[in-house]
Amino acid sequence: MIGIYSEGIASIPFLESFLQDTVILNPTNMNNITQIAGWGRKPSAQKAIEKARKHNLPYLSLEDGFIRSIELGVKSRRTFSLIADPIGIYYDSTAPSQLEEYLNQDIFDEGLINESRECLEYIKMNKISKYNHAQESFTVKKNTKENILMVDQTFNDMSVSLGLADASTFQYMYDYTLEQYPEANIYIKLHPDVIAGKKQGYLAQIASPDRVQFITSSINPIDLLQQMDRVMVVTSQLGFEALMLNKQVCCFGLPFYASWGLTRDQIVCDRREKNRSVEEIFAAAYLRYPKYIRPDTGILGSLMDVLTFINKSKSLGEIQTKYYFHNIPKWKRNFLRPFFDGENTDISFESPKMSLLQRNDSKDNKFVVWSYSNDIKIPQESIVRVEDGFYRSVGLGSNFHEPWSLIIDDIGMYFNPQEPSKLENILNYKEFDDRDIRAAKSIKDFIINNDLTKYNVDYNSNFNIDNINNRKVIFVPGQVEDDASIVYGCTGEIKKLEDLLEHIRKKHPDAFILYKPHPDVVLKNRSGMLKSELYDRIETKASILQCIQIADEVHTLTSQAGFDGLLRGKIVYTYGGPFYAGWGLTIDTQTFSRRKRSLTLEQLIAGTLIYYTKYYNRDLRHQTDCLSTLRKLKEMKKGYSYIDRLLDTNKGRWIRRFKLLTEETLRRDK
């Protein structure tokens, strides 16, 4: 586990996916903490550095990667790359860093260099930089003079002071450039944060507009650099982007790419022992040093995943979406809101009395309803349906436990096979690659090794069914009578659990039928208990996984227990239309004409749990990925106490609902 002491770091989406570990904000128990992480060497990281020293733990320096995002860091916490350096940090030239070690080592095999060249060409062709919000172009003066760019930076930029520079360095760079190139066209590129009005810059304070031209609009950096002959920098990343474009670069401070034989340097670093090519520095700094996620799923990805996503996003432009939440109960609003928090989204909750048709809204606006419970007469393309995710929580939704995963479907809903759904489209058409399959295998192994299910509340008793004659064991998971997956998914002769149990007894007269009622039925939150003559044993204490493990086959209408059975290698029969049926993995009584291909189990997992489901970390309050959520559920399951069980009785559940409504009121008032 990694301890952090910063709300800002905690808010980084997919943080645990980047770090591949559980993150604890402001840990009080240090027994399980293996590292302390902070934001590089900035003043805000001082508490983390001191905590690491006090507890004799390694300190991990975090920083944005060199291809970060669409928007500026001051506007959005969403980043596509993250550096986690256990040695130092790249912009601190006063000490070694992991990047410096990479560049001093011989790590550059043919495959890495080829990948480096491929990404470099893609960046240059599509004009991708650290931030990618700038759309304006720039044209230099039309004359025969040399074009020189000086790059400004912001006050209190740690890369300046730790790059052995200060305000006098910028003054020297300015004076040197004007003296050495008196006839040149000289331009000064202001920092994006200065242009956005968020910070102040050095050169902006000292340069004369009579001699230089300020670039004060948001120009694409690659487009700008392509038109320059020379680039003068202190420690800015633009200096390396200029090297990518084969420009002459002079460094007045000591950035990560200086002192490797490519730049004209005012400062030399003796620790940097070798001469390196642009491809080698790029391979170390952009390919080996940061971690990348796939922005659409949050699983670990590659630089090319990020580059293609950015390029596609730039071509589509920004779309502002307004979500109208219609007839959503108050206790659900609190947990729904963060799943829709985005840079270009707005949320409004509405009562049933408000008309959804008396509004002249943009076509990009959406109306969010819970499942199929809302009968509203608006076009299907404007409806977004939401439901609990497949690995939801520790505790039942009917007991007001908030979900850590959610389904958001703008086509249909996974449990209704009568209509298309986003999941069905993913499973039909998505080309899953090696990264998807590896991630799916990790998810499957984690679920199995930690006995995780949808709600994770079953009591694990000593379980023995006394199958004296060693009969074939058929497990039938219970469901509630009005379950939407049964209402929409059971279109054949068998439409109820009672029908299913009678069918199984007739078809398999010698089998041992094990029936486990749904947890909501056991707690009397929902109806659905069945007659005892339909099964050999009813089980209310053992977990659903114990029932699956002891069974030879799982027979179900539409229960997710069938999916749990597939994960554990069981033969699964379906009698309705669950999401996992019709893909060649189950024995089905119904047919599914729209489900067009056979899938491997890993492809089913990837489509369902990686691409379809959304996850939210309720402790750190940011969007997260599947595996990170499963880690949290594992820890919560271990801590599920007697008091929690007491609160999950029919009376205690109302205490929990009152608590959630109170929290929502306090949050809204705040």
pLDDT score at 520? 64
Name the band, by pLDDT with cuts 50, 70 and 90, for residue 434. very high
Distant-in-sequence, close-in-space partners of 608: CB < 8 Å, separation ≥ 6: 390, 414, 423, 427, 563, 579, 580
Q: Select the more confidently predicted residue: 121 or 358.
A: 121
Name the band, by pLDDT with cuts 50, 70 and 90, for residue 670. very low
Name the band, by pLDDT with cuts 50, 70 and 90, for residue 669. very low
Which of 284, 256, 282 lies closest to 271, judged by CA?
A: 256
Helix (H, G, I), strand (E, B) or coil at 154: strand
Q: Please state the rounded mean pLDDT for residues 189-208.
A: 85
pLDDT score at 666? 47
pLDDT score at 360? 47
CA atoms within 13 A on the CB side of 17: 30
Q: Which two tokens stand for residue 414?
A: 């996974």
Q: What is the pLDDT of residues 467-508, one digit of tens each?
A: 888 999 999 999 888 888 999 999 989 999 999 999 999 999
Reply yes or no on whether the pLDDT at 104 is more than 90. Answer: yes
Q: What is the pLDDT of residues 134-150, one digit of tens each?
A: 777 788 888 889 999 99
Q: Is 106 exposed, middle or buried (0-12, 13-18, 19+ CB in 10 A)?
A: exposed
Q: What is the pLDDT of residues 210-252, one digit of tens each?
A: 889 999 888 899 999 999 999 999 999 999 999 999 999 999 9
Name the band, by pLDDT with cuts 50, 70 and 90, for residue 190. confident
pLDDT score at 336? 87
- Of all residues in the chain, the percent with pLDDT exceeding 90 is 65
Name the band, by pLDDT with cuts 50, 70 and 90, for residue 460. low
Residue type, 136: E
Reply yes or no on whether the pLDDT at 661 is more than 90. Answer: no
pLDDT score at 548? 95
Q: Which two tokens stand for residue 401?
A: 């436990």
pLDDT score at 649? 57
Per the CB < 8 A criterion, the answer to whether 50 and 28 are in contact is no
Q: What is the pLDDT of residues 523-538, one digit of tens each?
A: 554 455 566 678 899 8
pLDDT score at 272? 96
Reply yes or no on whether the pLDDT at 667 is more than 70. Answer: no
Place of tokens 């690491």: 52
pLDDT score at 57? 97
Q: Select the more confidently predicted residue: 602 or 325.
A: 602
Per the CB < 8 A criterion, the answer to whether 221 and 129 are in contact is yes
Q: What is the pLDDT of residues 348-407, one digit of tens each?
A: 776 555 545 445 455 667 888 888 765 666 777 788 999 999 999 887 776 778 899 999
Q: Select the more confidently predicted residue: 533 or 189.
A: 189
Distant-in-sequence, close-in-space partners of 212: CB < 8 Å, separation ≥ 6: 150, 178, 186, 187, 188
- Listed range (200-204, 262-266, 318-322, 516-520) with the worst mean pLDDT: 318-322
- Listed range (272-281, 442-451, 512-521) with the worst mean pLDDT: 512-521
Q: Which two tokens stand for residue 520?
A: 């909501």
Q: Starting from the edge strand earliest in sequence, which strands make up the sheet with 405-409, in order? A: 345-350, 321-326, 366-370, 383-388, 405-409, 613-617, 622-624
pLDDT score at 347? 80
Reply yes or no on whether the pLDDT at 332 is more than 80. Answer: yes
Reply yes or no on whether the pLDDT at 314 is more than 90. Answer: no
Helix (H, G, I), strand (E, B) or coil at 334: helix
- C-alpha span between 318 and 346 (Å, rounded): 14
Reply yes or no on whether the pLDDT at 178 is more than 90. Answer: yes
- Listed range (81-85, 210-214, 314-318, 494-498) with the worst mean pLDDT: 314-318
Q: Where are the alpha helices (DSSP H) in 60-214?
A: 98-104, 110-126, 158-161, 167-180, 192-195, 203-206
Q: Please state the rounded mean pLDDT for residues 540-551.
A: 90
Angle in degrees, CA 122, 238, 269, rounded to 5:
115
- C-alpha span between 67 and 76 (Å, rounded): 14
- Of all residues in the chain, the percent with pLDDT exceeding 70 is 88
Q: Is 476 exposed, middle or buried (0-12, 13-18, 19+ CB in 10 A)?
A: buried
Reply yes or no on whether the pLDDT at 463 is more than 90. Answer: no
Q: What is the pLDDT of residues 285-298, one digit of tens each?
A: 999 999 999 998 99
Place of tokens 């006063």: 94
Distant-in-sequence, close-in-space partners of 172: CB < 8 Å, separation ≥ 6: 252
Q: Please state the rounded mean pLDDT for residues 297-305.
A: 96
DSSP designation for 532: G
Q: Select the more confidently predicted residue: 337 or 373.
A: 337
Q: Please state the rounded mean pLDDT for residues 446-464.
A: 84
